[in-house]
């Protein structure tokens, strides 16, 4: 089976020194073309940078806070972003490899019909052999309610959907450090992670870049999504020349997250990683054991409480009383009905609500 690598490219990498021959985005595209031709590996890019491109084109000094203005800039900038990718791919592949644009919101993956259509489109593009899909969040229509939140999360969710061989998140540092390497010279690079412990998450810090959305915290959240699906993730420095080749050859200075193998069926992957979580359902120990050890469905008698604003058919996180997530599922009732029937046996519910 042909390898598919998902590469997430951040805003800084798209805009840094872009007019020079050694700009990160030029080097990344050049390397993708080379690896794709020589090793017959498919690539899919998840790219940030649309709003930043709009800012550049219109000569705006500061990123606006108004949502409609940001959406307008994304509308202008997305065209410029794809123009840059098209020019770079045509140049470095000698007109043999071309990008394809796919714009998504979280609701596109929440609906199973549109989710399957998106998958079919991606697979068909990859089957063509000379296409590199470039995916971005559709900022022109995305509001807070339907946003992925950041492209780190989007890249992980896409990697899970297409059963990618590898997820590479490119940023401006070599990987995850024990502290902020820009502030603390004692900070050490963590080269390999086989256990996503709380200590690992404690090393992460948020970003201060005004044009970026996510920092190391969001990258680790993305790692967690891919991890649960059994997909290896690498966080690496996109400013390093030939970084993708070095990663594939095991020579990169980076952080590699190696999860246990996963055999999650495709529909369960959609539930776990495709749909947006609309709330949390807290269960008792008996329900926890039944879910984890017997593969049973969750019944109202095992529900202790719930929170959120979910309705029938939404995806919820199933948690222990202490808040530990043990699974996700599609609810058959909304939160108001669930709060009325929680803790009750089926016979009681039929009696009380005939």
The CATH number assigned to the domain holding 330 equals 2.30.130.10
Show the CA angle centred on residue 132, arms to residues 128 and 133, nearest 5°.
Answer: 100
Looking at the structure, tell me whether residues 241 and 297 fall in a common domain: no
Which residue, of 257, 289, 316, is where some domain finishes?
257
User: Does residue 70 form part of some domain?
Assistant: yes
Looking at the structure, tell me whether residues 81 and 159 fall in a common domain: yes
Burial of 216 (0-12, 13-18, 19+ CB in 10 A): buried
Looking at the structure, tell me whether residues 66 and 181 fall in a common domain: yes
Looking at the structure, tell me whether residues 154 and 214 fall in a common domain: yes
User: pLDDT by residue for the chain (354 residues), tens digit each?
Assistant: 689 999 999 888 998 766 666 789 999 999 999 999 999 999 999 998 898 899 888 988 877 788 888 889 989 999 999 999 999 999 999 999 999 999 988 778 777 788 889 999 999 999 999 999 999 988 787 655 445 567 898 999 899 888 899 999 999 889 999 887 777 788 899 999 999 888 888 888 644 444 444 578 889 989 988 998 889 999 999 999 999 999 999 999 999 999 987 656 666 766 666 677 889 999 999 999 988 888 788 999 999 999 999 999 888 999 999 998 888 888 999 999 999 999 998 888 877 766
Taking the model in full, what pTM does it have?
Answer: 0.80
| pLDDT score of 170 | 96
Looking at the structure, tell me whether residues 96 and 38 fall in a common domain: yes
User: Does residue 115 form part of some domain?
Assistant: yes
| pLDDT score of 134 | 97
Number of independent structural domains in the chain: 2
| pLDDT score of 262 | 63
| pLDDT score of 211 | 41
Looking at the structure, tell me whether residues 52 and 159 fall in a common domain: yes
What is the side-by-side strand order in the sheet with 315-319?
303-308, 277-283, 315-319, 325-330
Looking at the structure, tell me whether residues 175 and 306 fall in a common domain: no
User: Does residue 267 form part of some domain?
Assistant: no
User: Does residue 264 form part of some domain?
Assistant: no
| pLDDT score of 208 | 47
| CATH code of the domain containing 105 | 3.40.1160.10
Looking at the structure, tell me whether residues 245 and 118 fall in a common domain: yes
| pLDDT score of 112 | 75
Which residue, of 257, 284, 305, is where some domain finishes?
257
Looking at the structure, tell me whether residues 312 and 237 fall in a common domain: no
User: Does residue 263 form part of some domain?
Assistant: no
| pLDDT score of 146 | 40
Instruction: List the structure tokens of 53.
Output: 């491109």
| pLDDT score of 2 | 82
User: Does residue 35 form part of some domain?
Assistant: yes
Looking at the structure, tell me whether residues 53 and 138 fall in a common domain: yes
Looking at the structure, tell me whether residues 345 and 238 fall in a common domain: no
Interatomic CA distance for residues 189 and 218, integer angstroms: 18
Which residue, of 226, 257, 288, is where some domain finishes?
257
C-alpha distance across the termini of the chain, in Å: 53
**74: three-class secondary structure by DSSP:** helix
User: Does residue 334 form part of some domain?
Assistant: yes
Looking at the structure, tell me whether residues 280 and 253 fall in a common domain: no
Which one, of 169, 127, 125, 171, lies nearest residue 7 by Cα? 169
User: Does residue 269 form part of some domain?
Assistant: no
Interatomic CA distance for residues 243 and 123, integer angstroms: 26
| pLDDT score of 196 | 87
For residue 21, what are the domain limits? 4-257
């Amino acid at each position: 089976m042909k390898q598919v690598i998902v590469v997430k490219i951040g805003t800084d990498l798209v805009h840094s020194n872009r007019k020079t021959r050694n700009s990160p985005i030029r080097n990344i595209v050049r390397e993708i073309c080379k690896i794709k031709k020589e090793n017959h590996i498919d690539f899919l890019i998840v790219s940030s940078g649309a709003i930043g491109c709009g800012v550049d084109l219109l000569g705006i000094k500061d990123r606006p806070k108004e949502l409609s203005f940001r959406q307008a800039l994304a509308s202008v900038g997305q065209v410029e972003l794809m123009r840059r990718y098209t020019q770079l791919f045509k140049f470095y592949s000698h007109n043999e490899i071309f990008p394809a644009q796919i714009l998504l919101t979280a609701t596109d993956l929440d609906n199973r019909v549109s989710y399957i259509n998106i998958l079919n489109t991606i697979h068909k593009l990859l089957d063509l052999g000379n296409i590199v899909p470039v995916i971005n969040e559709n900022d022109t229509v995305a509001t807070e309610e339907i946003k992925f939140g950041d492209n780190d999360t989007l890249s992980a969710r896409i990697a899970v959907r297409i059963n990618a061989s590898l997820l590479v998140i490119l940023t401006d540092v070599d990987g995850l450090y024990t502290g902020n390497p820009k502030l603390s010279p004692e900070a050490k690079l963590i080269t390999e992670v086989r256990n996503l412990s709380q200590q690992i998450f404690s090393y992460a810090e948020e970003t201060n870049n005004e044009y970026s959305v996510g920092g190391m915290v969001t990258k680790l959240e993305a790692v967690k999504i891919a991890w649960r699906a059994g997909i290896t993730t690498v966080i690496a420095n996109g400013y390093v020349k030939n970084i993708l080749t070095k990663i594939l050859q095991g020579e990169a200075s980076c952080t590699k997250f190696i999860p246990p193998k996963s055999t999650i069926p495709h529909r369960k992957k959609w539930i776990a990683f495709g749909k947006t979580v609309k709330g949390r359902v807290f269960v008792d120990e008996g329900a926890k054991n039944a879910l984890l050890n017997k593969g049973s469905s969750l019944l109202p008698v095992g529900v202790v409480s719930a929170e959120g604003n979910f309705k029938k058919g939404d995806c919820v996180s199933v948690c222990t009383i202490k808040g530990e997530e043990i699974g996700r599922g599609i609810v058959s009732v909304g939160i108001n009905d669930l709060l009325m029937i929680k803790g009750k046996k089926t016979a009681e519910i039929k009696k009380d609500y005939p």
